């Protein structure tokens, strides 16, 4: 009985350490993204707080939307060849609604940011997000290659 308890304690300890490391890496990525975007957008101190408030709200809403959509698709078995045309029509409708909600969130962010910073910086935000994503993917690719060696 003691051995089982010890094994369970070790298992939960290791699990919590790995989950904390994952969260910490997410926090590091978010911190790096904040520095990256602040630097690229050359935000003034006066508009920086308003920008990050709007942007964080956008990111949080997008994350919630993504999580809800992902859970919905887990429930659906889209690989099921026995699905009816009506079920596929429902899948497409759900997908389109998800994409519309993403566009609505981005539109809301743009309208909020136009009040805080120039339209040029608002436009550039989305380009810088793509650049940041590419940079992070490249870092991840290099990290994986180093681990293989």
Q: For residue range 97-108, what is the model confidence (pLDDT) as tens digits?
A: 999 999 999 999
Between 12 and 100, the more confident residue is: 100
pLDDT, residue 12, reads 47
pLDDT bin (cut points 50, 70, 90) of residue 75 is low
Q: What is the pTM of this model?
A: 0.71
pLDDT for 69 beyond 60: yes
Name the nearest CA neighbour of 66 among 101, 93, 92, 33: 101
- How confident is residue 8, by pLDDT bands cut at 50, 70 and 90? very low
How far apart CA 118 and CA 124 sit, in angstroms, is 10
Q: How far is CA 4 from CA 1, 9, 11, 17, 49, in A?
A: 5, 9, 10, 20, 51
The confidence band for 127, taking pLDDT boundaries of 50, 70 and 90, is: very high
Which tokens hold the place of 49?
């707080």
Whether the pLDDT of residue 125 is over 90: the answer is yes
């Amino acid at each position: 009985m003691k051995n089982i308890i010890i094994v369970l304690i070790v298992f939960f300890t290791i699990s919590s350490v790995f989950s904390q490391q994952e969260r910490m890496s997410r926090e590091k990525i978010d911190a790096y993204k904040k520095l990256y975007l602040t630097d690229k957008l050359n935000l003034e101190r006066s508009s920086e707080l308003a920008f990050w408030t709007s942007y964080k709200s956008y990111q949080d809403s997008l994350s919630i939307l993504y999580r809800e959509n992902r859970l919905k698709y887990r429930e659906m078995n889209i690989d099921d060849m026995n699905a009816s045309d009506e079920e596929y029509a429902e899948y497409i409708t759900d997908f389109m609604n998800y994409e519309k909600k993403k566009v609505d969130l981005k539109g809301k962010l743009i309208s909020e940011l136009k009040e805080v910073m120039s339209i040029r910086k608002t436009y550039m935000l989305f380009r810088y997000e793509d650049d940041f994503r590419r940079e992070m993917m490249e870092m991840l690719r290099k990290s994986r290659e180093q681990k293989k060696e």
